[in-house]
Amino acid sequence: MAGVALAAPGGRRKVGEADRASRVAAWQQELGLNDDQVGQIQKLRADARRRAIRQRADLQLARLNLREAIQASPVDEKLVQARTKELSDLRSANLRARVETGLAVRRILTPEQQEKAKELRGARRVRRHERRSENDGQERPLTRPEPR
């Protein structure tokens, strides 16, 4: 893929704009997307990126607020509980937004394209698993890790 992928905390990759553009181009070719579908998907992804930026900022602020509440002397347990709920709610909203974006993309695809996308995701998951196993010599499950 074109672009630079940077290592991020937790072993995740930060995906650059060039990676995203090449991924959409690869999808267009592999799934046979028409120009209208590509445009719709690009708009969904751009909107999702904007939303994710806001959500990351909100999460950082919520973690900071929680940390401050925990470190306060004396500790206000009701405030800590409220800050914990705030953080939990933000994480839940983040997950819902990602799921909704994925479902919106799926609605753009034909049933045949949806099936092909499912196959491609499975093949990508297997390759990623194999790469990880080669890198550290340890077997890992094919499931996604729980978010932190």
Provide DSSP, 52-85.
HHHHHHHHHHHHHHHHHHHHSSS--HHHHHHHHH
pLDDT digits over 62-97, tens only? 999 999 999 999 999 999 999 999 999 999 999 999
Q: State how far the alpha carbon of 113 is from the alpha carbons of 31, 48, 76, 107, in Å.
A: 6, 21, 53, 10
Helices then strands, counting H and E runs in the chain, come out as: 4, 2
Q: Is 140 within the bounds of a domain?
A: no
pLDDT higher for 88 or 13? 88
pLDDT higher for 137 or 83? 83
Q: Is 65 within the bounds of a domain?
A: yes
Question: What residue numbers bound the domain in which 56 lies?
Answer: 17-110
Q: Is 24 within the bounds of a domain?
A: yes
pLDDT higher for 15 or 88? 88
Q: Is 141 within the bounds of a domain?
A: no
Q: Is 147 within the bounds of a domain?
A: no
Q: Is 133 within the bounds of a domain?
A: no
Question: At residue 5, does pLDDT exceed 60?
Answer: no
What total of structural domains would you count in the chain?
Answer: 1
Mean pLDDT rounded to a whole number for the chain:
83
The three-point CA angle 32-105-34 to 5° equals: 25
Domain at 95, CATH number: 1.20.120
Q: Is 9 within the bounds of a domain?
A: no
Q: Is 132 within the bounds of a domain?
A: no
